[in-house]
Each structure stands twice: as structure tokens, then as C-alpha cells.
């Protein structure tokens, strides 16, 4: 697999709160290749965004992808990966460093900010993952009672 496009998103219900990540992997022509998502437990939205990027990078490398284009609705993530912002948060630094290490293994990498409306598939998948975790009992009653809303609900 030579080229992939990853639509990524991470979200939390509350910040921090129950969180999940999602990566929708497509060919350069827009054909769906796979969807990757996971529940992260109680963490921040920014950690979830980074986990989405790492999932896309891991997928690309595992499938022998040489070139990856990432589309994300997190301006912070995009600007940090592109070097416009420094990573100051101690929880994000190891995730950033791992992402940069994985990126270096690709022939070509780009990451671009898109508006949330253009990232609806990844957003929907992250929310479905959080919903499934709640139904499976992986979300504590404290989290449920907080009344926290997702970005999708805002």
C-alpha cells in the first residue's frame, strides 16, 4: 500500500473524562480501507487526539504504507506536529515524541487541519466507541453523572 489518507479524531466527555480515538483510513482516491478506534478510559481530549494520530501511524506502518496524509480537526495537534507550537504539556510530550519517531519512518508525511464538518466520519467513530464503552460498563458512574457533553453535543 503506497499512499493512505487518515481522517483522525479524539474526544472526551468532559475534559478530562471518558475518552476515545478514531482513525478512518482511506486510499488516496477516497476508498475506505479500514477504521481503527479505541476507548482510552479517563483522559483529556488532547491525549485522545494524539492517540488517534498514533493509531493512524501504526496502521500505516503495519500495512507498509510509504506516504501518509493526515486530516485532523485539532488545531493544537496539527500545529504541534508541524512545529508551529511547542509541546509544553507533560502528558503530551511522550505522545508527540512517539509520533515524530513513527513519522520519520515514512517516506512522506503531512498533517493538515480541517474543520469538524469535514471530519465527521472520524468524529462519529470516536463517539460510537465512547458509547460502546459506556454500554459495556467501562465508564464510571462519576463520569456519567458529571453531565459532561461531547464536542458533538456542544
For 91-135, the pLDDT digits (tens) are 999 999 999 999 999 999 999 999 999 999 999 999 999 999 988
Q: How many domains does the chain have?
A: 1
Max Cα-Cα span within the chain: 46
Q: Is the peptide bond before 112 cis (omega within 30 degrees of 0)?
A: no
69 forms bridges with which residues in the sheet?
5, 110
Query: What are the pLDDT digits (tens) for 55-101?
Result: 999 999 999 999 999 999 999 999 999 999 999 999 999 999 999 99
In a domain, 153, yes or no: no
Show the domain range for 117.
Answer: 3-145
CATH (domain of 81): 3.30.420.10
Q: Is residue 112 part of a domain?
A: yes
Instruction: Name 9's Cβ contacts closer than 8 Å, sequence gap at least 6.
Output: 21, 22, 49, 52, 72, 73, 74, 119, 122, 123, 125, 126
* Alpha carbon distances (Å) from 78 to 8, 18, 29, 136, 142: 11, 23, 23, 32, 32
pTM for this model (two decimals): 0.90
Which region, left, alpha or beta, applies to residue 18 given φ > 0 means left and ψ of -120 to 50 means alpha? beta
Residue 59 lies in a domain: yes
Amino acid at each position: 500500500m503506497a499512499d493512505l489518507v487518515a481522517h483522525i479524531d479524539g474526544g472526551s466527555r468532559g475534559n478530562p473524562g471518558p475518552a476515545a480515538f478514531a482513525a478512518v483510513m482511506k486510499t488516496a482516491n477516497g476508498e475506505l480501507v479500514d477504521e481503527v478506534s479505541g476507548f482510552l478510559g479517563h483522559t483529556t481530549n488532547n491525549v485522545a487526539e494524539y492517540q488517534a494520530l498514533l493509531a493512524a501511524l501504526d496502521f500505516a506502518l503495519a500495512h507498509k504504507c510509504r506516504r501518509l496524509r493526515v486530516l485532523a480537526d485539532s488545531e493544537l495537534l496539527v500545529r504541534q506536529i508541524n512545529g508551529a507550537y511547542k509541546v509544553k504539556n507533560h502528558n503530551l510530550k511522550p505522545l508527540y515524541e512517539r509520533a515524530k519517531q513513527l513519522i520519520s519512518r515514512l517516506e512522506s508525511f503531512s498533517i493538515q487541519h480541517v474543520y469538524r464538518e469535514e471530519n465527521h466520519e472520524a468524529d462519529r467513530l470516536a463517539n460510537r466507541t465512547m458509547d460502546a464503552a459506556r454500554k459495556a460498563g467501562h465508564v464510571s458512574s462519576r463520569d456519567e453523572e458529571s453531565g459532561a457533553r461531547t464536542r458533538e453535543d456542544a
